[in-house]
Structure 1
Amino acid sequence: MLLKTSGQRWVGLVISMVAMIFLACASIVYGYTETSWKMAYQAFTDFNGTNEHIIIESVRLPRALIAATVGASLAMAGVLMQTLTKNPLASPGIFGVNAGAGFAVVVAVSLFSVGSLQAYTWIAFLGAAVAAISVYVIGSTGREGLTPMKLTLAGAAIAAMFSSFTQGLLVLNEAALEQVLFWLAGSVQGRKLENLASVFPYLLAGWVAAMILSPKMNVLSMGEDVAKGLGLNTGLVKLGAGIIVIFLSGGAVAIAGPIGFIGIVVPHVARAVVGIDHRWVIPYAGLLGGMLLLVADIAARYIIMPQEIPVGVMTALIGTPFFIYIARKGFNGR
C-alpha cells in the first residue's frame, strides 16, 4: 500500500483527477489529423468551422469523454464483482455481461437488420442487463442462496452460452459479422455524445450508489459469517451490488462494446495504492480505469497509423501481463 494516511490519499486523488483531465485533453489533441493544444483551445473558444476544429469538437471530444467514462465504470464494476465473488479475476466477462450484450446486438443485426449505433447502445444495455440478472438468479438458487462459487459458475455458464449463440449467428450471417465485428472487439471510435448521454444517467447512478455502498462492501469483504454477525443484511447488500454492476458494466458495454482487462487489472492496482478500504478503492479504481482506457485509446491511433486498432485489442495488449501476474500471484478477491 503506497498511500497510508487519509491526507496522502486525498492528495493522490486530486493528482489522479488532474492526470485524467490531462489525458482527456491529450486524447483531443493527438491523432491522425495533426492538431495542436492551441488549436484545440481555439476550437472551443473561437470555432471557425475548419476541418480540424470540426474533428476536435465532433469526433475527439466525444471519444475522450466516452473513454474516460467507460474506463471508470468498468473498473468500479470490477471492484464490486471481485468482492462479491471473492474471485481476483472477476470482470464483466465472468458475469456474462459482455456476452449478453454482444448476443443481443448480433440478434438485432442478423434478424432485424438494425444498423444504427444509437440502437446498438440500448440493445446492448438490455442484453447486458438480462445476462447479469440471469446470472444473479441462477447463482441465488438452492439452499445456500447466493455464494461466490455459484455466482462465478453461473456467470461462466451464461457467458459460454451467449458466446456460442453469437458465434452461431455470425457463421450463418456473414453480413452481420462485418457490421458488428468492430463493435464486438471493443471500440470508442465513431461514438457520439448522444450515445454517452443515453446511458450516462445510469452510469452516474451506479457511481454514486457504489460510493454509498462502499462501507458495507468493507464489511462484506470480511466474510459472510462475520458480516452477518455484525448485523449486515448480506443478501440485500449483494443484491444492491449486483444491480450497480448491471448499471455500470451494462452501460459501458452498451457504449463501447466488450472491452476487456480494465475490470480485472485496475481494482488490483487501486488496492496496491490505497489498501482494501472500498471507500478509497472505488474512486481510485474509477480514476485509474478512465486513465488506462484513455492511454490505450491514444496508443491505438498510432500503432498501425493511418489505420486504427480497436481499443479493446489495445487494453488486451496492456492488460495481459498484469493478468498473468495477478493469476500467478493469487491476490485475494477483496
Structure 2
Amino acid sequence: MSGLSAVERRAPAASREASRDTGTAPDPGAPPRRRALRPAGLLSGLVLLVAAAALSLSVGTHHIPLDQVWDGLTRGPVGKNETIVHDLRLPRTLIGIAVGTALGLAGAVMQTLTRNPLADPGLLGVNAGASAAVVTAVSLFGVRTFQGYLWFAVAGAAVAAVLVNALAGSRAATPVRLALAGTAVSAALSGYVNGLQLLDLEALDRMRDWDVGSLAGRDGRLLLQAAPLLLAGTVLALGLARPLNAMALGDDSARSLGAAPGRTRVLSVAAVTLLCGGATAVCGPIGFVGLMVPHAVRPVCGPDARWLFPYCAVFSPVLLLVSDVVGRVVAPPSEIQVGIVTALLGGVLFIHLVKRSRVVKL
C-alpha cells in the first residue's frame, strides 16, 4: 500500500477491481439511471447549442427575425439584415463555439489531471500567461498580425502552466497550493500587462477590448488561422480521457492499467496550452468558463472523463454564446464584453466552491 496515492488508498478495493475490468472508468458503480441519461443529456446539449447559435445570430442591439437569419446563412448578404448576419454575427458565433469548446475542455482536463475542483485556465494563470505574451509581442516587438502573436500566446500559456505547477510543488501540489500559485502568477502577470500598456498608450488602445475578453469585432479569418491549434488541442484532450481516468486511481494503478502517468501529464499540459493559447489569441482572456461547466455537468455525466469531456465540449459554447447575448442586450446601445459577463457568473460559483467543506475531495 505504500506506493499508492491518497486517492487510491481511499478507494474501495471493489471499485479498483471493477476499474480493471471496465477499461479505466473511475465510476464503474455509476447508477444505471446515470448511464441511461448520459446519451440523452449529450443530445440535449447539442440541441441547446443549436438554439444558442440561433439566438446569437438573431439577438443584439438590432434584432433580426429568424427567417432573415436563415436567408443570411443560405443566400448571403442580399440585404441589410442578411449582411449583418453573414458578415458580422456568423463569424462571431462560430468563434464563440470554437473558443467555448476550447476553454471548457481545457478546464475539464485541468480538473481531472490535478484532482483540483478549482482548476481553470484563468485561475491557474494560463490565460494570464497567454495575455502577457501577446501584449509583450504587440508593445515591445511591434507585432501587428494575428499570425505573429498567435505563437506568443501559445508560448505564454505554456510558460505560465509550467511555472504554476513548479511553484505549487508539481506532483505534491494540493488544490489550495495550486490555486494560490495560480492566483499569485495571475496577479503578477496582470500587473505586468497593465504597466506595459500604460507605458505604451498605442498598445493600450489596440488591446483595450481584447484584454477583457470579447467576441465582438473578430474577423472570421482569425478562427481559420487558429483552427489547427484548437483542433489539435481538442483531439488530444479527447484522446486523453482513458489515461486520465486511470490516473484517478493513482500512478501505480494507472501503470497497471496500461497508462503512462508521466506521458499523460505532459500531453495534458500540451492540450491545455494549445486550447488556451489559441482561444486567448483570438478573443483575449475569458475566465471561469472552464471552471463553471465541468461542475455543472458532473451531476449528469459523472466523473468519467470519457463522458465529461464531450459534455464540456458541447455545453461550454452554450454558456459562452448565451453570455455574449446577455452582454449585447443588458446595456443598449452599448455592449458588455463576454469576459465581464462570465467573470460575474464565475465569481459567484467560485465563492460557492470555496465555501463547500468537501471542495478538496474531487
TM > 0.5: yes
- After TM superposition, the structure 1 = structure 2 runs for residues 110-259 of structure 1, keeping only pairs within 5 Å, are 110-116=139-145, 119-135=148-164, 138=166, 146-149=171-174, 155-228=182-255, 230-259=257-286
Which residue does 2:33 correspond to in 1?
4
- After TM superposition, the structure 1 = structure 2 runs for residues 1-334 of structure 1, keeping only pairs within 5 Å, are 4-116=33-145, 119-135=148-164, 138=166, 146-149=171-174, 155-228=182-255, 230-329=257-356, 330-332=358-360, 334=362
The Cα of 1:57 is off from its aligned counterpart by: 0.7
The Cα of 1:191 is off from its aligned counterpart by: 0.9
| Per-residue deviation, residues 162-213 of structure 1 (Å, max 9, x unmatched) | 2232222123223322221211101111112211111112212222222221
Task: Measure, in 1, the Cα distance between the counterparts of 2:77 and 2:295.
Answer: 45
Task: Measure, in 1, the Cα distance between the counterparts of 2:128 and 2:77.
Answer: 43
Instruction: Give 1:221's aligned amino acid.
Output: A
Q: CA RMSD in A?
A: 2.5
The Cα of 1:14 is off from its aligned counterpart by: 1.2
| Per-residue deviation, residues 15-56 of structure 1 (Å, max 9, x unmatched) | 111110111111011111231101111112233532222211
Task: Measure, in 1, the Cα distance between the counterparts of 2:226 and 2:77.
Answer: 31
Does the C-alpha gap of structure 1 residues 117 and 50 become closer, same or farther in structure 2, counting only changes over 3 Å? farther
The Cα of 1:272 is off from its aligned counterpart by: 1.6
Task: Measure, in 1, the Cα distance between the counterparts of 2:294 and 2:80.
Answer: 40
Does the C-alpha gap of structure 1 residues 253 and 4 become closer, same or farther in structure 2, counting only changes over 3 Å? farther
How many residues matched? 330
The Cα of 1:134 is off from its aligned counterpart by: 4.7
Cα contact 1:186–1:313 (8 A) shared by 2: yes
Cα contact 1:67–1:188 (8 A) shared by 2: yes
Does the C-alpha gap of structure 1 residues 108 and 333 become closer, same or farther in structure 2, counting only changes over 3 Å? farther
Does the C-alpha gap of structure 1 residues 2 and 300 become closer, same or farther in structure 2, counting only changes over 3 Å? farther
* Regions of 4+ moved over 6 Å: none
Task: Measure, in 2, the Cα distance between the counterparts of 1:333 and 1:204.
Answer: 32
| Per-residue deviation, residues 89-108 of structure 1 (Å, max 9, x unmatched) | 11112442211121122222
Task: Measure, in 1, the Cα distance between the counterparts of 2:263 and 2:147.
Answer: 34
Task: Measure, in 1, the Cα distance between the counterparts of 2:229 and 2:274.
Answer: 6
**Percent identity (aligned):** 39
Cα contact 2:214–2:283 (8 A) shared by 1: yes
| Per-residue deviation, residues 136-178 of structure 1 (Å, max 9, x unmatched) | 6x3698xxx6443476666455434422322221232233222
Structure 1 runs not aligned, ≥5 long? none
Bigger Cα displacement from structure 2, 315-324 vs 30-39: 315-324
Does the C-alpha gap of structure 1 residues 77 and 88 become closer, same or farther in structure 2, counting only changes over 3 Å? same
Does the C-alpha gap of structure 1 residues 263 and 25 become closer, same or farther in structure 2, counting only changes over 3 Å? same
Cα contact 2:158–2:269 (8 A) shared by 1: no
Cα contact 2:49–2:314 (8 A) shared by 1: yes
The Cα of 1:122 is off from its aligned counterpart by: 4.2
Instruction: Give 1:179's aligned amino acid.
Output: R
For the residue of structure 1 that corresponds to 2:76, the secondary structure is coil
Cα contact 1:67–1:290 (8 A) shared by 2: yes
Task: Measure, in 1, the Cα distance between the counterparts of 2:355 and 2:179.
Answer: 19
The Cα of 1:88 is off from its aligned counterpart by: 1.1
Bigger Cα displacement from structure 2, 33-42 vs 166-175: 166-175
Task: Measure, in 2, the Cα distance between the counterparts of 1:306 and 1:23.
Answer: 21
| Per-residue deviation, residues 57-99 of structure 1 (Å, max 9, x unmatched) | 1110011111111111111111111122222111112442211
The Cα of 1:216 is off from its aligned counterpart by: 1.3
Larger Rg computed on CA atoms: 2
Does the C-alpha gap of structure 1 residues 294 and 106 become closer, same or farther in structure 2, counting only changes over 3 Å? same
Cα contact 1:296–1:315 (8 A) shared by 2: yes
